[in-house]
Structure 1
Amino acid sequence: MAHFEADAVGQLSSPVAPSSRRLLPLLFAGNAAMYALYVGVGSVLLPLQIEHIDAASKVANLGVVGGVAALFATVFNPVAGALSDRSGRRNPWILGGGLAAVAAMALLGGVRTVLLVAIGWCVGQAVMNIYQAALTSVVPDRIPLRQRGVASAAVGLGLPVGSTIGVLLASAFSHHYQLGYLALGLLVAAAAVLFTSAAREQRMPPKQPMPLRAQLATFLNVLREHDFRWAFIGRALLVLGYFAVTSYQLYILQDHIGLPSGLEPSKAVAILTPISAVAMTVSTVVGGVLSDRLDRRKLFVGLSAALAAVAQLIPLLSPTWPGMLAFAAVSGLAFGCFMAVDTALVTMVLPKAEDAARDMGVLNIANAGPQIIGPFVASAVVSLGGYPPLFLVGGLLSVLGAAAVLPIRAVR
């Protein structure tokens, strides 16, 4: 374990080679465009479109569409990855997925029934997962092991920056959501063209994909490890609590929060998202540095998860616009610190250093799975009791996420 930890530190402190340095801004741009589409569609355009089709059933319909599309994406992602593995190339899949995103978004913006919206968003998820699977593989393919930390930071910054761009762009077209879909598709296409024209690649030997049975065995084996299993559970619970609330943010602003006169809900989302993104970026850096200096991981993971629970109480106790501003800032601080420190914690409880990439892939299920379940959970809670119980459920899940790290033995 000590040997693996030293390797991780070495990765973060090593200078970046010139060839790798040229990839970093391209990786940032490619990931930022991807998150812009995911967050812009999921937070603004899709809820607006579903409300336009059937306002009375918007909560239930958004839960079904979001959940089905997320399930489809989770299943399709390894398929897309296997296709690029077999070809020994990444750039053609990045370019193809990016260009296809334009057509998929145009299709999604043009449909007029909930069923067709679900199908259209599944098509969008398919082409975006082709793009995402190939882009994600660039780091292990082309970045030396000792430079992965810097590359991961460039990729990670794509989330707050991309989500802000996506929400601002989607909100600008809130009254013409068809154009909003098209604009986000064009953004991904532009990033794909930029990446593939500036980052040339050499064909690699084709890889044989792992059979489904072997993938399932890998998943079950690594979850038998005590510390990793609790880290997995903690991550899944907090992500579920976070996305159960944020996926319904537009409807919360429409139906539960008292907004200032003249402020439309879609514009309010465009204000809240940058606040959360800035807070997330700051806490990611500060939390990571402090946890390194103090050599304490569980403390920071527990505090950030508890802070996430506090954030959920703010709009519950104060369903006002200032309350939502405070919620955005506090939840961003909590989620950014949690994700940064929890990722470091997980690297310290991986069963084997040589299987680190595989096991971190298993951990990604704790990120993706709750995003499948989240819309269904949120829809059921809101349908039964309205929005206040949704904040309670989100806070409870965050507390349980904090409690899940306590049994971990190998990390302070």
Structure 2
Amino acid sequence: METIHIQKKQSKDKFPFRLGFGLLLALLGWLVPYLGVNSTLLPAKIQEIAPNNKVEVIALLATVAMIVATVANIIEGAMSDRTVSRFGKRNPWIICGLITTLICFFFLTRVTTVKGIIINWALFQISLNFMVAPLVAFIADMTPPKYRGSISAFWGVGMNLGTPVGTLIASHYITSVSSGIYIFMIFEVIFTISGLLLIGEKSNQNSHTKKLSGKELIESFIFPIHGEIRDFYLAVFGKLLFVSAQFLVTGYQLYIFVDYMGLSSTNATRNLSIMSIILLVMGVAFGILGGPLSDKFHSLKLLVALSTVAMGIGVMLPAIANSPWTMFLYAALSGAAMGLYNSVDQALNVAVLPNPDNTAKDLGIVNLANSIGQIVGPIIASIIISSIGYRLMFPAAGIMCFVGAVLILMIKKVR
């Protein structure tokens, strides 16, 4: 027993590089394909099938996906918390998600109707959340508290890479959607498996999962209602507003270039690639700084709030003029904001969890704000575009960010 204790102590003193790089790769495994398809290839496919109703179809698709993802994330995260197997409690769910998302991607290349796309994308949301909730729980499961900021930075760098890399790859397949999806399928397999091998989750067959019944069982599958939940929900809604504002623009970036700025598909593709490179450079540069800074100065809340304000300024810039340079400025400022935000966001989320027995489920709820935000943003954008036009969607996104920053600053448990 003493030897085991010493080994655990030594492992806690050593920075967990394998965990950090494993999280980074496994995150990219689902995030890059999802964002590349969701933000570019899916709108391109819908434009082919229903060009006259594409904005409304995107909004409908987002609504269905939001409802399905909300339920799936909570249930699947809770089931992961209670899993005992020779492969650990997270790996079985992530592998299941990998297989089923690949199946959904394959059938997405085959569907030719709006109805088929909606059904497929709803099933995809269920499959995706088999991966999302268990994967983020590794931060709480395996990271020593003093390194959470830095390990969160690995996750943050992955989040910052997700949008630009996904868009950059997808932008080359706008006129060949199926080929792009096949590329993403290969990407997902390689990165997810590599990440899980690096993380190296062990068997938990000797662990004793707390048996629940009655009210405790119900609470393990629903939103937290006991414990220190005030800060938890402030973090949830602060994140929801930040991500919604981001995807209010990102969800329609192809249409912004084509319809709002009047560019041809060829020019839109070129500008999307430039935007992606700017987002990539700024996101990674600022993402690398965020985690170590938070560990050194013990300041999570302030960094998250400042990055949310910076995003708010960035998303308002395209309202100035319907020219590509405003989108490039938006990409630079929002890329920096996302870099800082994503690098410390998960450390903040872990710090406000109300119940350690429901780690994956509760982290899944916090990160559900990320999934829902990617859906709520396009819905709000659709309403604004249909009723007022493109220009006013940008200040609306800015206001959402500023409110989100206020919510983050109201958190008391974290500096």
Q: TM-score with structure 1 length normalisation?
A: 0.82
Letter aligned with residue 64 of structure 1: L
Checking the alignment, whether the CA contact within 8 Å between 2:149 and 2:343 is kept in structure 1 is no
CA shift for structure 1 position 262: 8.0
Q: Deviations over 1:115-160 (max 9, x none)?
A: 1111112222233322334444455555566655554333332222
Q: Distance in 2 between matches of 1:148 and 1:294?
A: 13
Equivalence for 1:131: 131
1:110 aligns to what SS in structure 2? coil
Q: Which residue of 2 aligns with 1:326?
A: 329
Distance 1:187 1:322, change over 3 A: same
Counterpart amino acid of residue 71 in structure 1 = I
Judging changes above 3 Å, is the alpha-carbon distance between structure 1 residues 312 and 209 closer, same or farther for their aligned structure 2 residues? Answer: farther
Q: Deviations over 1:139-198 (max 9, x none)?
A: 555556665555433333222234333222222222110111122112212334445667
> Which residue pairs with 2:113 in the alignment?
113
Contact 1:234 1:402 in 2 (8 A): yes
In the aligned structure 2, how far is the partner of 1:278 from the partner of 1:54?
A: 35
Which amino acid is 1:241 matched to? A
User: Given the alignment of the two structures, is residue 309 of structure 1 paired with residue 336 of structure 2, yes or no?
Assistant: no
Residue correspondence of structure 1 range 163-242 to structure 2 within 5 A? 163-195=163-195, 202-205=202-205, 207=209, 213-215=218-220, 219-221=224-226, 224-225=229-230, 227-242=231-246
Is the alpha carbon distance of 1:104 and 1:267 closer, same or farther for their aligned partners in structure 2, counting shifts above 3 Å? farther
Q: Which residue of 1 aligns with 2:14?
A: 15
Report what 2:382 is aligned to. Answer: 379
Structure 1 unaligned blocks of 5 or more: 1-9
- Which one is further off, 392-401 or 333-342? 333-342
Cα separation, 1, equivalents of 2:252 and 2:49: 17
Which residue is equivalent to 1:154?
A: 154
CA offset digits 1:301-320 (Å, max 9, x no partner): 44333322221221100221
**Contact conserved, 2:97 with 2:130, CA < 8 A, in 1?**
yes
Would the alpha carbon gap of residues 217 and 141 (structure 1) be closer, same or farther in structure 2, given more than 3 Å must change?
A: closer
Distance 2:412 2:120 in 1: 46
Cα distance in 1 for residues equivalent to 2:51 and 2:314: 28
Identify if the C-alpha distance between structure 1 residues 360 and 193 changes in structure 2 by more than 3 Å, giving closer, same or farther.
Answer: closer
Candidates 246, 251, 257, aligned match of 1:253: 257
Question: Is the contact between residue 148 and residue 347 of structure 2 (CA under 8 Å) also seen in structure 1?
Answer: no
8 Å CA contact retained: 1:99, 1:192: no
Is the Cα contact below 8 Å between 2:91 and 2:196 reproduced in 1? Answer: yes
- 1:31 aligned to 2:36? no
What is the CA deviation profile of residues 30-74 of structure 1, one whole-angstrom value per residue up to 9, with x for unaligned ones?
Answer: 211211111101111111011111111111101111231233123
Unaligned stretches of 5+ residues in structure 2: 1-8
Whether contact under 8 Å (1:303, 1:402) holds in the other structure is: yes
Q: CA 1:288 to 1:100, structure 2 compared with 1: closer, same or farther past 3 Å? A: closer
- For 1:272 and 1:334, the matched residues in 2 are separated by 15
Structure 1 residue identity aligned to 2:225: L
Say whether the 8 Å CA contact 1:311–1:330 is kept in structure 2.
yes
Question: What do you get for the CA RMSD once the two structures are aligned?
Answer: 3.6
Residues 176 and 212 (structure 1), Cα distance of their counterparts in 2 relative to 1, 3 Å cut: farther
Rounded Cα–Cα distance in structure 1 between residues aligned with 2:153 and 2:187: 22
Q: Compare 102-111 and 46-55 and name the one that shifted more.
A: 102-111
Q: Percent identity?
A: 31
In 1: Cα distance, 2:340 partner to 2:318 partner:
21
Instruction: Kindly provide the amino acid, as one letter, of the partner of residue 26 in structure 1.
Output: G
| Native 8 Å contact 1:102 1:186 kept in 2 | no
Equivalent position of 2:59 in the other structure: 63
Higher relative contact order (Cα pairs below 8 Å, separated by 6+ residues) = 2
Q: Which amino acid aligns with 1:279?
A: M
TM-score calculated relative to the size of structure 2: 0.81
What number of residue pairs does the alignment pair up? 398
Deviation (angstroms), 1:107 = 0.4
Report how far residue 276 of structure 1 moved.
1.4
Q: Deviations over 1:82-126 (max 9, x none)?
A: 555435234444344324433321201211111111111222223
Separation (CA, whole Å) in 1 of partners of 2:279 and 2:402: 20
Aligned-pair distance for 1:268?
2.4
| Distance (whole Å) between structure 2 residues aligned to residue 82 and residue 198 of structure 1 | 24
- Inter-partner Cα distance in structure 1 for 2:75 and 2:46: 29
Contact 2:26/2:196, CA 8 A, preserved across alignment: no
